[in-house]
């Protein structure tokens, strides 16, 4: 099992991605960068091949821990964690719609120095704050996944690092200079905070399972919302290579 120190180095590398992704000009192109579509495919492959099967495996343990009178039992043995995944999916869909419909322009005094934004200050903080919580959960799972070991850490870290590239592109598209000046720092710090909490605190297994399901549903939405819009002119072949390549890697390593 990797040490806390080696896992911490992975955490620092992933946090640094948020600070550096905006400097990669090739990611901002239309038609959509092949790298972003490839990253999206790899991220979603990890969810379907690794995270969702882990969610399914945890289902029985959650129902047993919750007890017969709980809402988990009422929802059914095959459903409760997938409801959490659905909540994650719907929550981030709602956030995307909120950011998309916020067409007002806000000056930097409302957000960050002289930075401009395509959204209002309120929408900026709701959007970035929600992704900060999301990042903290992903950071927590660096140390608290069902599969342990250096190989599992590399697979998880690679998939989430590629996913961060995709998220950074979408957030900067919405918030522009405000994200560059403030948002990316908030997300990097939130990720490290989540990892640090994971070092110090182990939440109950059924809570951990709900958190994992929520993250899985959220990742799916955050990938798909960046690939589907027509104005992205996404590269399906690159997305498909990402799905197939990383999916096969996950199945056979």
Instruction: Report yes or no on 69 lying in a domain.
Output: yes
H-state helical runs in the chain: 4-20, 34-46, 52-66, 71-75, 80-101, 121-140, 150-175, 177-178, 184-200, 205-227, 236-252
Instruction: Report yes or no on 23 lying in a domain.
Output: no
Instruction: Report yes or no on 198 lying in a domain.
Output: yes
* Direct distance between the N- and C-terminal alpha carbons of the chain, in angstroms, rounded to an integer: 17
Instruction: Report yes or no on 240 lying in a domain.
Output: yes
Q: Which domain holds residue 207?
A: 4-18+32-252
Instruction: Report yes or no on 193 lying in a domain.
Output: yes
Q: What is the pLDDT of residues 42-68, one digit of tens each?
A: 999 999 998 888 888 877 666 666 555
| CB contact at 8 A, 54 and 253 | no
Instruction: Report yes or no on 25 lying in a domain.
Output: no
**Number of domains into which the chain is organized:** 1
d(CA 78, CA 181): 44
Q: What is the pLDDT of residues 5-29, one digit of tens each?
A: 888 999 999 999 888 866 665 555 5
Instruction: Report yes or no on 49 lying in a domain.
Output: yes
| CB contact at 8 A, 60 and 77 | yes
Instruction: Report yes or no on 121 lying in a domain.
Output: yes
Low-confidence residues of the chain: pLDDT under 70: 1-2, 21-33, 60-78, 103-118, 228-234
- This prediction has a pTM of 0.85
């Amino acid at each position: 099992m990797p040490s806390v120190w080696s896992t911490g180095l992975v955490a620092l590398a992933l946090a640094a991605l948020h600070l550096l992704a905006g400097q990669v000009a090739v990611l901002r192109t239309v038609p959509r960068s092949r790298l972003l579509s490839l990253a999206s495919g790899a991220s979603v492959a990890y969810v379907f091949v690794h995270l969702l099967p882990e969610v399914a495996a945890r289902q029985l343990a959650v129902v047993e821990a919750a007890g017969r009178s709980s809402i988990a039992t009422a929802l059914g043995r095959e459903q409760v964690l997938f409801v959490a995944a659905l909540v994650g999916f719907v929550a981030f869909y709602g956030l995307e719609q909120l950011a998309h419909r916020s067409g007002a322009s806000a000056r930097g005094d409302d957000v960050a120095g002289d930075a401009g934004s395509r959204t209002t200050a309120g929408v900026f903080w709701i959007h970035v704050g929600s992704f900060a919580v999301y990042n903290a959960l992903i950071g927590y799972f660096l140390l608290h996944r069902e599969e342990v070991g250096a190989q599992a850490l590399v697979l998880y870290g690679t998939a989430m690092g590629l996913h961060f590239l995709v998220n950074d592109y979408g957030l900067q598209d919405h918030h522009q200079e405000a994200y560059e000046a403030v948002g990316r720092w908030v997300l990097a710090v939130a990720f490290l905070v989540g990892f640090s909490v994971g070092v110090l605190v182990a939440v109950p297994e059924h809570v951990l399972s709900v958190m994992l399901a929520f993250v899985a549903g959220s990742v799916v939405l955050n990938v798909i919302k960046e690939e589907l819009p027509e104005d992205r002119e996404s590269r399906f072949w690159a997305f498909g290579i990402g799905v197939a390549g990383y999916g096969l890697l996950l199945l056979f390593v």
